Amino acid sequence: MNDRHWDTLLKIVRGEETQEPPVGFIIDSPWLPGWYGTTILEYFSDPVTWFEANLHAMKVFPDVMFFPGFWSEYGMCTEPSAFGTKMVWTENDFPHPLKLNCTTDAIASLAKPCVKTDGLLPFVISRMARYHDKVKACGCHYRFACSRGPLNIASFLFGTTDFMMALALTPDEVQKALTVITDFIIDWLELQHEKFPDIKGVLILDDIVGFLGQSDFETFVLPHLKRIYATFNPEVGFFHNDAAGLVTASYLKETGINLFNFSFNHSITEMRKLAGDGIILLGNLPPRDILAKGTPADVEAGVISMMREAGDIKGVIWSCGGGMPPYASTENIRTFITAVRNYS
């Protein structure tokens, strides 16, 4: 993220006015390879392609805040790989980890990996270090330490269905595993901070938290997220959950989160009421059905409807309800930006 966008983001977090209505998107491997014109495998395996794709997005859309910005990641494989999962790679499908055993003993005996040596993590750091000077030369910095969240990682290690069953049937073992995973996440974020001191924000992505009711959220999610964000006290505590987010929203402030990207199934008005003051909302156009599959006219109409429903536009960064979807076109993204400015 460049200095101008970071300064704008901090103004928004502080509740200050901005000259233009802010637009921002989470961009990563689901969207960038296809939009840039390369394969998914090439994007992950060739650092030059990774760097140039991210740089090209920044040049084509100079007024858009891209989160987290030059994100060095390997899709959903990054964190699970450190725990020893087998990873499946094909040329143009998203890589995915194969689950470990989900026996009670396997969950209870989960061991914490070493973030400096295990899985794909050293490759993430190496790529970031290799391109650090080039990223700074184009006016940007690594601003966020990033990780998948505890439940998200657990669901990849044990399988979502099996993990949710274990959560209900063997809660003590699951809680022990989530504690190990949270310790690992904190180590991982600390390593990113250590290597790249310009990092001032924390981004956690965890859709599985949206599958839990309030009681389970308070037991299995809240203490772990609070510990992660409290460890770093970031200037921007960013959380992504584009599954059901109504339970999550009520606990954002308590958790230490001040920027929230959530499902398009929830209105900005609804989310604002639950989240309360001081929480910046990043949303909320349907990503797949409108931003990716819709016509420019659909996008314009969707933006107008979204902004009209929101009413008060303060405390909102206009985006889609989730990350940038595959196949979102340059024309549709430009239409989104223009519509936000025209309607505001």
Separation CA 51–CA 43 (nearest Å): 9
Separation CA 13–CA 199 (nearest Å): 16
Domain ranges of the chain: 3-343
- How do 96-97 and 87-88 pair as beta strands? antiparallel
Tens digit of each residue's pLDDT (9 = 90 or more) over 26-56: 999 899 999 999 999 999 999 999 999 999 9
pLDDT value at residue 67:
97
Tens digit of each residue's pLDDT (9 = 90 or more) over 73-108: 999 999 999 999 999 999 988 999 999 987 888 888
Q: Which of 34-38, 60-64, 233-237, 243-247 has the lowest mean pLDDT?
A: 243-247
Answer yes or no: are the C-beta atoms of 192 and 125 closer than 8 Å: yes
pTM over 0.95: yes
Three-state secondary structure call for residue 319:
strand
Separation CA 52–CA 48 (nearest Å): 6
pLDDT value at residue 325:
96
Separation CA 295–CA 289 (nearest Å): 10
pLDDT value at residue 243:
87
Tens digit of each residue's pLDDT (9 = 90 or more) over 134-148: 999 999 999 999 999
Residue closest to 241 by CA, chosen among 264, 267, 214: 264
Tens digit of each residue's pLDDT (9 = 90 or more) over 181-208: 999 999 999 999 999 999 999 999 999 9
Q: Any idea what the Cα angle at residue 61 is, between residues 57 and 62, rounded to 5°?
A: 105
pLDDT value at residue 311:
86
Tens digit of each residue's pLDDT (9 = 90 or more) over 146-184: 999 999 999 999 999 999 999 999 999 999 999 999 999
pLDDT value at residue 22:
97
- Of the chain, the percentage scoring pLDDT greater than 90 comes to 91
Architecture (CATH level 2) of domain 3-343: Alpha-Beta Barrel (3.20)
pLDDT band at 245 (very low <50, low <70, confident <90, very high): confident
pLDDT value at residue 209:
95
- The mean pLDDT value of the chain amounts to 95
Residue 221 region by backbone torsions, left for phi larger than 0, else alpha for psi between -120 and 50, else beta: alpha
Read off the tokens for 341. Answer: 């400015």
Please determine, for residue 244, whether its predicted confidence score (pLDDT) is greater than 80: no
pLDDT band at 7 (very low <50, low <70, confident <90, very high): very high
Buried b (16+ CB within 10 A) or exposed e, 141-167: bbbbbbbbbbbbbbbbbbbbebbbebb
pLDDT value at residue 309:
92
Please determine, for residue 334, whether its predicted confidence score (pLDDT) is greater than 90: yes
Separation CA 24–CA 312 (nearest Å): 18
Mean pLDDT of 326-338: 97
Residue closest to 239 by CA, chosen among 264, 209, 196: 209
pLDDT value at residue 344:
80
